[in-house]
C-alpha cells in the first residue's frame, strides 16, 4: 500500500470499492484532500489499477488513490503487517461494502463472505485508533417476510427470511451493531438499486429487470396479483450520491438510513407503465401468487420466463419502509430521488441494448 501524503487530511479505506456502488461512492470523494485505499483481492489487482488510473485522470481529482491486497474472508482481511500498521497510523474513515449479493446465494458462500467477512472487517477496524467513522452497506431486505412498516429504527423484530442472502445480511448487520460502541457507524439500507437515471447503466439483472425479461419475450400475458405491494427501487446515481452526502453529515453517526424512493409505485402500476413505455401489451391475467410460485418451481418455466424464482416473493409482499432519517439528512443538499416515470425509459433502453440472451439461456442472471 502506498504511503499517504502527509498533507492528506483523511485516509479512507474501502472494501468493495471496485463494485458497482463502490466506484460511484468513491467518485463523490475525489475532489477532497484525502487518501483513498481500496482493499482488493490479488485476482482483481489489474482491474483496480485501471480503476485508480481512471479516477486520477479526472481533472478535478485531488484525492490520492492506492490499493492494498487482501481478502475479507481472512483474519485481518488478509492484509500484510506493513499495511495494517499503515492503516493504524493513518486511517480515519472506512466504508464496508464488500458482500456476496445473490438471492439464490449458497449458504456456505454467504457465511464465508457476508458473515465472517464482516466479522473480520469489524475486528480490523476496531483496532484502528484514528478511525472516526464507518459507513456500512446493509439492505432493506433484512426486513425479511415482515408485512407493513419496517422503520429505520427497526432491526430484530422476529422476522423470518425469504432466502439465505437476507439472513446473511441480517447477521452481518448484527455484527456491525456489536461494534457501534467502539466505532462511530452509519448503517445504510438501500432498496433495490436500478440503473443510472441518466444513462440507464446497470451491471446485472435484478428486481424489476426480471419483469423486463418476461416483457422482452412477450411472456407477460399472465403475472401474479401484487395487491398493495410496492416496487421499492431507486437509481444508482441517487443512491450513491445520497450515501456519500449522508456520510459527511456530522449528525449521521449512530443512525440507520433507508436509501430509496419515498414515493414508490405499486408493483402493478410499475409493470403496466413499463409495458406502456415499451410499446407492449399489458398483462391480461393476474394469477394468485401461490399458483405463480408453483409454476416457477418448475425449472423449465423459470428459465423460459426469465424470472429467478427467489426474486418472485418480492412482488407480492406488502412491506413499507420509512425514510425519515434520510430525508432529514438530505434536506438542503438538493438530492432527491427521481420519480420512476422520469427514468423508466432509459432503464428500458439500456436493458434492450445490453441484454445478453446467451447468458440468460445458461441461467446466468
Task: Give the DSSP H or E segment for 223.
Answer: strand 222-224
* pLDDT reading at 14 higher than 60: yes
| pTM, entire model | 0.93
* Residue 165 reports pLDDT greater than 70: yes
Instruction: Give the pLDDT confidence of 252-264 residue by residue, as tens digits.
Output: 999 999 999 999 9
Quick one: pLDDT at residue 6? 43
By mean pLDDT, which of 82-96, 110-124, 241-255, 283-297 is the weakest? 283-297
Q: Characterise 11 by phi-psi region: left (phi > 0), alpha (psi -120 to 50), beta (else).
A: beta
Query: Which stretch of DSSP H or E encloses residue 12?
Result: strand 10-15
Segment 76-102 mean pLDDT? 96
Packing angle, helices 164-178 and 116-126, rounded to 10: 20
Q: Residue 6 gets which letter from DSSP?
A: T
**Could you tell me which residue, 213 or 155, shows the higher pLDDT?**
155
Mean pLDDT of 172-192: 97
Answer yes or no: is pLDDT of 314 > 90: no
Q: Which residue segments constitute the domains of the chain, with CATH numbers given? A: 10-190 (3.40.50.720), 195-232+264-317+339-361 (no CATH)
Strand, coil or helix: 289? helix
Digit-coded pLDDT (tens) for 321-350: 999 999 999 999 999 999 999 999 999 999
Judge whether residue 364 has pLDDT over 60: no
Output the pLDDT for position 5: 45
Q: 363 falls in which pLDDT band (50, 70, 90)? A: very low
Q: Mean of the per-residue pLDDT values for the chain? A: 92
Helix segments in 218-320, DSSP class H: 236-247, 267-278, 289-296, 299-305
Q: Please name which of 181, 178, 170 lies closest in space to residue 105, comparing C-alpha atoms.
A: 170
347's enclosing H/E stretch is helix 340-354
Please state the rounded mean pLDDT for residues 36-56: 97
Residue 176 pLDDT level (bands cut at 50, 70, 90): very high
Grid look-up 448484527 returns 174
pLDDT at position 293: 67
Q: At 14, which helix (H) or strand (E)?
A: strand 10-15
Question: Is the per-residue pLDDT at 151 higher than 60?
Answer: yes
| Residue 140 predicted with pLDDT over 70 | yes
Q: What's the CA dihedral at 146, 232, 287, 347 to 10 degrees?
A: -160
Kindly indicate the confidence band of residue 301, based on its pLDDT and cuts at 50, 70 and 90.
Answer: low
Amino acid at each position: 500500500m502506498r504511503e499517504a501524503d502527509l498533507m492528506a487530511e483523511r485516509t479512507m479505506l474501502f472494501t468493495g470499492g471496485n463494485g458497482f456502488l463502490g466506484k460511484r461512492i468513491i467518485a463523490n470523494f475525489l475532489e477532497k484532500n484525502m487518501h483513498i485505499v481500496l482493499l482488493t483481492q490479488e485476482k482483481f489487482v489489474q482491474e483496480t489499477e485501471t480503476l485508480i488510473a481512471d479516477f486520477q485522470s479526472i481533472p478535478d481529482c485531488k484525492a490520492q488513490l492506492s490499493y492494498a491486497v487482501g481478502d475479507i474472508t481472512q483474519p485481518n482481511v488478509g492484509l500484510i503487517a506493513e499495511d495494517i500498521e499503515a492503516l493504524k497510523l493513518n486511517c480515519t474513515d472506512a466504508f464496508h461494502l464488500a458482500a456476496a449479493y445473490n438471492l439464490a446465494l449458497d449458504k456456505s458462500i454467504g457465511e464465508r463472505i457476508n458473515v465472517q467477512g464482516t466479522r473480520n472487517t469489524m475486528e480490523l477496524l476496531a483496532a484502528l485508533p484514528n478511525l472516526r467513522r464507518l459507513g456500512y452497506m446493509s439492505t432493506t431486505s433484512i426486513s425479511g417476510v415482515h408485512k407493513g412498516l419496517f422503520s429505520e429504527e427497526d432491526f430484530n423484530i422476529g422476522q423470518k427470511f425469504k432466502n439465505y442472502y437476507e439472513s446473511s445480511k441480517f447477521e452481518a448487520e448484527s455484527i456491525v451493531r456489536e461494534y457501534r460502541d467502539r466505532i462511530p457507524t452509519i448503517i445504510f439500507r438501500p432498496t433495490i438499486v436500478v440503473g443510472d437515471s441518466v444513462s440507464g447503466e446497470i451491471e446485472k439483472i435484478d428486481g424489476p429487470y426480471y419483469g423486463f425479461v418476461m416483457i422482452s419475450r412477450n411472456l407477460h400475458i399472465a403475472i401474479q396479483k401484487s395487491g398493495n405491494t410496492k416496487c421499492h427501487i431507486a437509481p444508482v446515481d441517487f443512491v450513491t450520491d445520497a450515501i456519500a452526502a449522508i456520510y459527511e453529515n456530522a449528525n449521521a453517526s449512530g443512525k440507520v438510513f433507508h436509501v430509496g424512493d419515498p414515493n414508490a409505485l405499486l408493483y402493478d402500476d410499475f409493470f403496466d407503465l413499463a409495458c406502456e413505455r415499451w410499446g407492449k401489451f399489458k398483462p391480461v391475467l393476474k394469477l394468485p401468487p401461490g399458483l405463480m410460485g408453483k409454476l416457477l418451481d418448475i425449472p423449465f418455466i423459470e428459465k423460459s420466463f426469465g424470472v429467478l424464482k427467489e426474486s418472485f416473493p418480492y412482488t407480492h409482499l406488502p412491506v413499507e419502509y420509512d425514510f425519515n432519517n434520510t430525508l432529514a439528512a438530505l434536506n438542503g443538499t438538493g438530492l432527491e430521488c427521481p420519480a420512476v416515470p422520469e427514468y423508466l425509459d432509459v432503464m428500458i433502453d439500456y436493458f434492450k441494448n445490453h441484454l445478453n440472451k446467451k447468458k440468460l439461456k445458461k441461467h446466468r442472471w
